[in-house]
Structure formats: C-alpha cells, structure tokens
Amino acid sequence: MKKTRLTSWLAIMLSAALVLLTVGCGGNGSNSGGNTTAAGGTQNTETTQVSAEAQSAEAVQETEEIAGRKLYERTFTASGTDPDSYNQRIAEVINNLFVFYSSTGELDTKLTGYDEPITVTSALSYNAGMEDSMGYLAQAYGESMTYNRYQDIFKQVFNVDFVYSWQAESSDYDETLRLEMASGELPDMFLVTNQSDLKALADADLIWDLTDFYEEYATDALKQRYEVDDNVPLQMATFDGKLYGLPSSYSATDAVSYIWLREDWMEKLNLEYPKTFEELEGIMEAFMTQDPDGNGVDDTWGLGCTKNLEYYTRGIAAGFGAYPGYWVTDKDGSAVWGGTTEETKQYLAFLADLYKKGYINPEFVSYNDPEVTEQLLNEKVGIMYGGHWFISTVMELHSTKPDYRWRCIPLPSPAGEKVKAVIAPSVGGYLCVNKNFEHPEIAIKLSSFLRGDIGSAAYWLHYCPDVNKGPAIMSSFTPIVIPGSGMNNLDTYWNLQEAYASDDPESVLKDEAVSAWGNLHSDAPNARWAWERMFGPGEGSPMSILSEMYKSGNIFYTSFYGAPNQLMQDNWSTITDQEWQIFTNIVIGNVSVDDGFQQWLDVFKSMKGDEITTYVNEWRNETIK
C-alpha cells in the first residue's frame, strides 16, 4: 500500500513537472531570446570598458571629432587579428563622407545626429554566402551578423542604435515578414522585397508615407542616383502619388542574356564566330562531332540548358525579337505579353528543331543549375546562354586548366541583324518605416549618408576582400538601403575603361568601379580571371557587348513594372506556369509547334490574360505617359 502511494505521488509530481516544462517552453523561448541579447549587450559594454582602460588615450582621441564634426560615443570595439586597421578604415570612411557633405553644405542641414540615442529595430535577410564572409570578418575585426561596420558608423555619426529583432535566410525572409505583418509585430525599419507586399502595407496604413521626408532629407547624391534611371525605381514604390519605401535598385541590365562560347575550342577546331543562327548550328555540330575536348569520344553537347528554359534560352529568343518572359510594346504602342507574339512561336520552332537534331541534351528537363555547372566543369558543353556572371560559375576550372577560356560574341540572329534586348528595373527591396516609429527621416538620412562619395575607402567598406575567397558583398549586412543604378554595370564598365586608358587609373575611378578595380587586381587568381572576362579591357566581354547594344539603341525597358492588381495576383502565376510547361513540351516535341502554341494562347485567354493586358495598358497610360 505504502509503496503504491509513493509511486503514485511520484507519478503526479513527474507529470506536473512535465506540464510546467511544456507550458514554460513557449514563454521561455522568447525570454531566452531576450536574455541573449541582454547578455550580448553586457558583454559588449564590458569589452568596451576593458579596452577603454587599456588604450584610454587612443579611445578618447578617436571619439572626439572628424573633419570638424563631433562623433557620438561608439558602443562597438573592434577586436580580432586586425582591430587597428578596422578603426583606421572606419575613420577614413566617415572622414571622406564628412568632407564630401561639408562641401555640398548638407552635413549640418540634412544629416544631423541625435543628442539622445535612438534605438531602431530592424530585420536582417542573409544568405549562406554572407555567413561565410562573416566568419572571416569576425576573425579579422570582431564584427558579427548582429553588429557590424554599418551599425558602428550609424552610431558614431547619428547616435542611432540598430538592433535586429530577427534574422532570416533570404529565401525565408518574405514568409517571416508576412508572419510579422499578420501578427502586427513589424520592426521599426525593414526591407520589403516584394512590390505587392509594399502596396498591401501601404493600403493597411502600417508604414509611413515618406514623400515629405524624402523631399526634406534626401541629399542630392541620393536623388541623382534615382534620376539616372528616370526615377523608375521610385515609381515602383509610389502608389497614388505617395512614396512608401526607398527602393534599392540594382542592375537592370542583368536581364540581358549573352552567348558564351569556349574560345579554346573555337581556336582548336579553327571555327569562325557565328553571326546567324545557321552558323551557330554549324558550331554546335562541330562541337558535337569533332571532339573539341580531345578525349576521343563524342561526348559533348551543342547547347547547355536546364529545366529553367526561359533563362537559359533568353538570348536565342531575343535573336528572334521574342521576349516570352516580359511585357513588351507592339507596333501600335500598346503593351502585350511577350509570350503571345508570333516571334515567340518562331523561337520555339527553332529550339524544337535544335532539340530534334540532338544539339540539346534531352536530360535538360531534369537538370537544375548544379547539374549544368557540373557538365560545364566536365567540359561537356561549349555553348551557353546566360548572364554576364556566367563566367563565375565556371571559374573553378580555370585554376587547374589555364587554357580553359570562354568569350562572348554579339547575339546571333536569324539573318545576322542586330539584336534588341529587354531590360527590367530590378529592385532588391524597399526600405519602409513602421507607422509607429517616430523618426521616419532616419531611413532617408542614413541611406543618403552612405550614398555620398566615399572615395577609395568604398572598396573596403562595401566589398571587404577576404584574401581566400575574394570580395564579400558587405552591403547585404546593412539595415538600410544603398541604392545602385539600373545602368550600374555599364557606368562601371565605362569608368573602368577610362581607368585602363589613364596613366593614373586610381584617380579616375568612381563608385562601384572602385571595388571592381580591386577585383580586377585581386590576389585570388580565379576571381581576377572572371572579373577580367566580364569587365576587363578588350573584346569578347559581355560588358563590351552590352555597351555596344546600349550605344546603338538596342536596349529597351520592359513595358510594365507596376504592382499587380487582384486578377493578376490570382491568375498570373498559373499563366506563366502553363506557358513554360507548354513551351517545354513544344521544344522536346511532345506536341507540334502549331498545336502547342495554339494551346498556350487558349490558356492565356481562358485565364483572363486579355483583361490583365488591359490593366497593364491602363497602368502604362497613368504612370509612363
């Protein structure tokens, strides 16, 4: 009897403990989060104190003033293997910006700091590459994902403390943000990567209308950045005439697809570079049958491709004047979906013919990017269409095989005529300010500040080079946006060519060219090779081809970059999904070109594609004209 009672008490207590544990778990989760931040905070102040004692004289000097403006007390202390060079560089960046903005007279009017420290919560979107580079930066300077050089600068210059409420891998960022939206727990300042989300936030009155703040606080340097692109990025963030976010645009020309050829194979087989598609087919035939890799087996394919048919054959489509993934303007000046045009049909017929002749590996439908990269590294493919960064996916092989060379040529077309390429404004994100936050101007001030001329210190700030891996793209770590320009790559390319022609190249360099120049002279041979192929002097680089296309007026903007309406949100993904399903079936010959294309047009009609086209044209009339 006694024993059973004991056991039952034991059981009761055990289960009670379990209940407490499980219930407690939820609460503890958030608590422990808070605790860690608090602990981190204390740790920081502690180290500050310790080092302040150790090098008090230096520290006092450091926090005094730069270029005649007082700095606020910093909370970060550089550690690691090279803290001195960190401090020196940060001081250089701030000094250069102070000098620049003193000269424009904006330093004490638009870019004022705050006497009382202001805490801003934000969110960080990161990717695996960032984690890698942070490992290096933590070792060298003691920076971390949660506190880095940008936060250090903002603290010293504006007395603004940035705290990350949460971090998410870039692929999960949108989902996490929407969850926060739904539960009403948005950070003070955050990046919205999706135009529809931005519009939804604006409609729900959750974010500030930044129009007036932009007028008052944006420096000329920031405004010029947007004007270069005819304010297209700002238009994308403007609804009913009100600006709701600071867009961070990056290169719009990234939409252009180039044709890449194995230069060493061309030379080995003594072939002429193709101008027409017929000549291109000849090269494919030669690569397949004449054993360019010299292993004695016909194991090479004509054209590399994956199941992402749109991207890997965009350059072929452009050759036909077809733009199946973009809104374009027809002869009458109204917008049409590129996939529905007669040119797209011709492009599909050509691809189907290539496939039938065996130039494309039939397995492409099961390939993702890694599989095609593997084929490239195993030298099974010598012709690829792709972005200018294509070369960086194959640079690994260059170190073991210096003779492994690729080059670009002007895009071939049916009869050798010049090809027009479509570009699309690309906005990586819009910086928004929570309506509950009292200082929306901080977003504009900080973005403006870093948009100033940093001079040669820009390279270290934005692309801190990791000696082992080449540059780390630091700007991904900033909680604000540093907008680029849609024509960034071209500007950089032209600037670099000036530098190559100059006796004193370093003095000619501006903006991104500073970092590009660093990459072009990097210690990492693979990266240097890849950058020379993309931005270097001489023929055969994608940038030289882009420059030529731009100068001859063969680059044009897509016709629609507005936020989708309800119908478009409901139906558009289904339409494009069906589009590429049918197109893939046409290419591999499951359905004839005529039947397949008609089937696609029927789908477009039945999914109300015509109504969507009407909406797109209405948007054009309101926004562009």
Binding site for another protein (CB under 8 A): 7-8, 11-12, 14-16, 18-19, 21-23, 26, 174, 178-179, 181-184, 194, 196-197, 200-201, 203-204, 206, 307, 309, 361-363, 365-367, 370-371, 569-570, 572-574, 577-578, 580-581, 584-585, 588, 590, 603, 606-607
3-state helix, strand, coil in the chain (%, to 5): 55, 15, 30
CA diameter of the chain: 100
Helices (DSSP H) in 269-389: which residue ranges? 277-289, 309-312, 314-319, 342-356, 369-377
Is the CB of 137 or the CB of 305 nearer to another protein? 305
- Please state, as a whole number, how many other Cβ atoms lie within 10 Å of the Cβ of residue 231: 13
Bridge-based pairing state of the strands 421-423 and 555-557: parallel
Minimum CB separation of residue 172 from another protein in Å reads 12
Is the CB of 277 or the CB of 367 nearer to another protein? 367
Is the CB of 4 or the CB of 270 nearer to another protein? 4
Minimum CB separation of residue 34 from another protein in Å reads 21
Minimum CB separation of residue 11 from another protein in Å reads 4
Name the token pair of 534.
Answer: 């993309």
Is the CB of 32 or the CB of 569 nearer to another protein? 569
Please enumerate, as own/partner, the contacts of 549-556 that have beta carbons within 8 Å and a separation of 24 or more: 549/256, 549/410, 549/418, 549/419, 549/420, 549/421, 550/487, 550/490, 552/418, 554/418, 554/419, 554/420, 554/421, 555/253, 555/256, 555/420, 555/421, 555/423, 556/420, 556/421, 556/422, 556/423
Residue 249: its H or E element: strand 246-250
Q: What is the CA radius of gyration of the chain?
A: 28
Is the CB of 416 or the CB of 589 nearer to another protein? 589
Is the CB of 65 or the CB of 172 nearer to another protein? 172
Is the CB of 207 or the CB of 472 nearer to another protein? 207
Number of helical (H) and strand (E) elements in the chain, helices listed first: 28, 18
Minimum CB separation of residue 21 from another protein in Å reads 8
Minimum CB separation of residue 23 from another protein in Å reads 6
Name the token pair of 55.
Answer: 């090098």
Minimum CB separation of residue 294 from another protein in Å reads 19
Minimum CB separation of residue 534 from another protein in Å reads 29
Is the CB of 429 or the CB of 470 nearer to another protein? 429
Minimum CB separation of residue 163 from another protein in Å reads 23
Is the CB of 181 or the CB of 508 nearer to another protein? 181
Minimum CB separation of residue 425 from another protein in Å reads 20
Minimum CB separation of residue 207 from another protein in Å reads 9
Is the CB of 308 or the CB of 614 nearer to another protein? 308
Q: Estimate to the nearest angstrom the gap between the alpha carbon of 131 and the chain centroid.
A: 16
- Please state, as a whole number, how many other Cβ atoms lie within 10 Å of the Cβ of residue 295: 10
DSSP string, 38-57: HHHHHHHHHHHHHHHHHTHH
What is the SS3 string spanning 221-239? HHHHHHHCCCCHHHHHCEE
For residues 307 and 367, the answer to whether their CB atoms sit within 8 Å is yes
Of 602, 591, 575, the C-alpha closest to 348 is 591
Is the CB of 82 or the CB of 371 nearer to another protein? 371
Minimum CB separation of residue 26 from another protein in Å reads 7
